[in-house]
């Protein structure tokens, strides 16, 4: 790798680290190409930046960025997954992949700009996603209105049933 290529790589990583609120460092040693391709395909659906990095370049790029507290973890084979969106979706995909492929292990994580432990990453992966939480919120907000509409309709429906029964009774009593 030439000096210019290294400088370009450092600049790209630095920009990515500046924008990212969620970062997960992992070790992937022992994964074959097919497994790595599968991981990249799964990660792509979460709108996440995923890359295998050279540790020395990543350390340089991490300086003066939110990722700086993770600098000591850039050792061995290192891949970086980061996004500025939903940390739950990212954690779910990577945690599930790690369960299916034991060679893929977490080194460190940062969620919403705060360094978290590996246990915390696993706990975050078990949370409902943003979309699930929003749908639950909408259901809770909609339920009282729906119940009120049902109660208001019940009065008219009950009145119609009573009038129908009275009409049937009149028919039965006037019949010879």
Residue extents of the structural domains in the chain:
3-127, 129-176
Find where tokens 């022992």 sit: 30
Once rounded to an integer, what is the mean pLDDT over residues 68-87?
87
Task: Report residue 82 as tokens.
Answer: 């980061």
* Better pLDDT: 79 or 133: 79
Amino acid 175: pLDDT: 59
DSSP letter string over 145-165?
Answer: HHHHHHHHHHHHHHHHHHHHH
Q: Is 104 a residue whose pLDDT tops 80?
A: yes
Residue 130 clears pLDDT 80, i.e. is over it: no
Alpha helices for the chain (secondary structure H): 3-19, 33-44, 55-62, 87-100, 118-125, 130-174
| Predicted pLDDT at 159 | 79
As given in the structure block, the two tokens for residue 131 are 């979309």
Average pLDDT over residues 22-27: 89
Average pLDDT over the chain reads 85
pLDDT one-digit tens code per residue, 41-72: 888 888 888 888 898 998 998 888 888 888 88
Is this prediction's pTM over 0.75?
A: no
Residue 176 has pLDDT above 70, yes or no: no
- The CATH code of domain 3-127 reads 3.30.70.1730
Whether the per-residue pLDDT at 173 is higher than 80: the answer is: no
Sheet holding 105-111, edge to edge: 49-53, 78-83, 22-27, 105-111, 114-116
């Amino acid at each position: 790798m030439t000096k210019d290529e290294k400088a370009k790589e450092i600049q790209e990583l630095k920009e990515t680290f500046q924008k990212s609120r969620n970062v997960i460092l992992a070790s992937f040693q022992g994964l074959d190409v097919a497994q790595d391709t599968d991981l990249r395909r799964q990660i792509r659906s979460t709108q996440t930046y995923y890359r295998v990095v050279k540790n020395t370049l990543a350390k340089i790029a991490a300086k003066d960025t939110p990722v700086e507290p993770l600098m000591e973890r850039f050792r061995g084979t290192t891949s970086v997954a980061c996004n500025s969106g939903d940390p739950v979706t990212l954690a779910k995909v990577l945690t599930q992949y790690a369960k299916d492929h034991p060679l893929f292990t977490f080194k460190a994580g940062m969620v919403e700009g705060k360094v978290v432990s590996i246990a915390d990453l696993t706990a975050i992966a078990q949370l409902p996603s943003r979309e699930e939480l929003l749908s639950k919120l909408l259901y809770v907000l909609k339920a009282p209105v729906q119940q009120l509409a049902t109660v208001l309709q019940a009065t008219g429906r009950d009145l119609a049933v009573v009038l129908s029964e009275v009409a049937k009774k009149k028919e039965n009593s006037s019949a010879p």
